[in-house]
Amino acid sequence: MFDYPLTYSEVFLFLENKYRQSEFSEALNSLVFNKMIFQFDKYYSLKNDHGLIARRNKGNEKAAELIKKAKEVGRLLIKFPYVRGVGISGSLSKNFADDRSDIDLFIITEKKRLWIARSFMHCFKKLTFLVNKQHHYCMNYYIDEEQLQIVEKNIYTAIEIGTLIPLEGDTVFERFYAANSWTRDLLPNKNLRLASAKPLRKYFLKSLIESLLNNRAGEWLDNILMKFTAGRWNKKTKMKKLNMRGTVMGMAASKHCAKPDPVNFQAKLISRYQHKLVSLLQETENRVAQ
């Protein structure tokens, strides 16, 4: 929003109020005419800086390369036990990447088997460090089929849901979107996309492992893995260990969800956004008054 020029459609789809297309076009043209915002070909920007267009175009090209790789990663991860859906999240799902970008992945698992699925996948991720491919396997957000609705209902999560790129598991993503129809209250011009993910297929080894764990022993193992992992992460948080981005490591862990702790990231990000928004509006009012 502040340093990333947007297209006409992107501005319209992510407005927080419902508008007719004609109203929106008139308002946008007026803002450009009065130099409150700036138009560069198909892009609109808050800053009169053509360099931001070059930055966006370069980031879009890099994202296209990473999305191709993410599709390969998705085809591999869907073969893991109890994984029912794989999608792209984070900045890559907004079609932007740079040389430091990771492939952030959103994972949906079978109900009450999230922690078994996560443990298999993170054991595999340990191996990717040996070939320096760990940035392609950032499985940092898990939910299971029993709790598809995202608990935190705010503008950040609404945009994350609205921009998610489903890769594998078409029917589970359709149910995920249905469970999160609340996002229309925050983004009334943005219709949730139909799931473009591939249908779920059967894999022999995956089915075999699941058949061995579809019992009380599997339930016990899932609970043990949840407690063990949550304990390790709580220890890291108390010690204020930092991740590669300089943020205190923290994870919200429950039977149906494993995700970055909202207090450590979401709340701070929304606070920064609101502060910048207030500053922008104040700056605009001052310009109008002059």
Q: Cα(256)–Cα(173) distance, rounded to whole angstroms?
A: 16
Percent of the chain with pLDDT over 90: 73
Instruction: Give me the half-sphere count of Cα atoms (radius 13 Å) on the Cβ side of residue 242.
Output: 4
Query: What confidence tens digit (pLDDT) does each residue in 202-217 have?
Result: 999 999 999 999 999 9
Let me know if 93 is exposed, middle or buried by CB neighbors in 10 A (0-12, 13-18, 19+): buried
> pLDDT at position 236, please?
72
CB 77 within 8 A of CB 83: yes
115: amino acid identity, one letter: W
pTM listed for this prediction: 0.90
Q: Cα(224)–Cα(240) distance, rounded to whole angstroms?
A: 25
Query: What confidence tens digit (pLDDT) does each residue in 241-269 have?
Result: 655 555 655 678 899 999 887 766 788 88
108: amino acid identity, one letter: I
Over residues 224-252, the mean pLDDT reads: 74
| Average pLDDT of the residues of the chain | 91
Phi and psi (nearest 5°) for 7? -80, 170
Q: Cα(175)–Cα(89) distance, rounded to whole angstroms?
A: 17
Lookup result for tokens 């009012």: 285
Q: Cα(95)–Cα(77) distance, rounded to whole angstroms?
A: 21
Question: Is pLDDT at 98 greater than 80 in this prediction?
Answer: yes
Lookup result for tokens 């709340």: 267
139: amino acid identity, one letter: M
Lookup result for tokens 């879009």: 60
Query: What confidence tens digit (pLDDT) does each residue in 121-171 have?
Result: 999 999 999 889 999 999 989 999 999 999 999 999 999 999 999 999 999
Q: Cα(128)–Cα(138) distance, rounded to whole angstroms?
A: 11
Q: Tokens standing for 37?
A: 């915002």
Q: Tokens standing for 26?
A: 């008139």
Lookup result for tokens 């579809």: 214
**Measuring CA to CA, how many Å separate 174 from each of 141, 160, 178, 195?**
18, 16, 6, 6
Q: Cα(138)–Cα(201) distance, rounded to whole angstroms?
A: 23
Q: Element (H or E) spanning 142, and its range? A: strand 138-144
Question: Is pLDDT at 35 greater than 60 in this prediction?
Answer: yes
